[in-house]
Chains A and B, each alone.
Chain A
Amino acid sequence: MPLPRHILAPAFCRRQLGLSYAFMIGIMVYFATFAIAAEAVLSMTSFTWDKNMQSQVTIEIPAMDDEASTSQADRVTQILTALHALPGVGKATVMPDEETARLLKPWIGQPELLKELPVPTLIEVERKGHLPVTDIQKALKNIASDVRIEDHAAWIGGLAGLADGLSALAWLIIVLSGVTLVLAVGLLCRTIMATEHEAIALLHVMGADDGDIARHFQFHARHKALPAAFTGFGLAIVSAVPFLFLLRHFMDLFVMQAAHWLMLGVLILLAPLAAIGIAALTARFSALRLLREMP
């Protein structure tokens, strides 16, 4: 950059233009960081739900009366045998009593009451391929007609649909933030080109290349965007803490491994870096386009 760096600096500060620009960058990065984080979490969670739970079915076997001819244990054994005989069943395991008690605890409260209640037995079935629930119902009809079959794919499908909708919304916010940033930087360049017209025309007369002048726009746009973008990013991280605190009871839903958290960190860091890059490049190309209109 052969020209002094401060040749256009006052233009970026005049009438708080630089301050407005920095605020705008900070706000865009703030929203984009949230949107990227939400999109990444939803994508990874939705993928895990799809992968782990769509294939699962829970069979609920109501508790038998004491006078019944067949014991509950016999019924469970018969049902497990019938399930293992089905070609589409990968695994069928009885949920341990402790696990059932853990699931019921929020509703029952006192563990000793559970021993006196007719608690159903639960069997977790892992399907291979696309075994329809009706096939399981048919296979169990003659052994236990009163069983209830819970197909997880049904509710997971609804939840995954909601996640996809929210993901699309997050993408919309990311794209709109980017477009707004491009338009705002373009407008900033146009304003500076108008206020500094005489100085820029003078540089042209002295033989400045359009590229030389555009590089100054790029430099100042990047220089001002850098602290603003990281401030917006930092504020987004700080504001995420209360959200995570409020959502702590639902965190089990967001099944994410360590690698996912690492990926999330890298992805949200893209928000300030991309904002700085977009601002600098937009400033350069806007300036070049406007300079070509000058003699």
Chain B
Amino acid sequence: MTEEREVDSASFYQFLAEKKLMASRCKKCQALFLPPHPICTKCHGNDMEWVEMKGNGKLAAFSAIAVGPSCTIEEGYDRDNPYLVGIVELDEGPKVSGRILGLDARRPENIKMGTPVTVEFLEQEEGRRCFVAFKAQ
């Protein structure tokens, strides 16, 4: 029963490993939170439940990263091989940060705001946790 897991980051990443993008929802005012807040910032209620996002949304902001942190250099990215990150507004409402796939990171000027995207789950090397990505449809 997924609903019974603690509302915390460990559960969020456990869900991601199971290929589920989960938000927390306030049982009192129905506000949705992603990342999953344990206390509702709208009505301050603390009775939260997990709810799965369908994973469809639109690109709301992005960047093509040419100078990345150590972990993406290890993935093989550099100035000549940039990668995309972005903020996606999900159909359900919340916005999520994630890696952006399926668009040309070398031609960021051609990327259209509002491009429809769908969630993907990227696994890093063994022992490291899964993270959120979105692929252009």
A and B: interacting chains: no
Using a CB–CB cutoff of 8 Å, the interface residues on chain B facing chain A are none
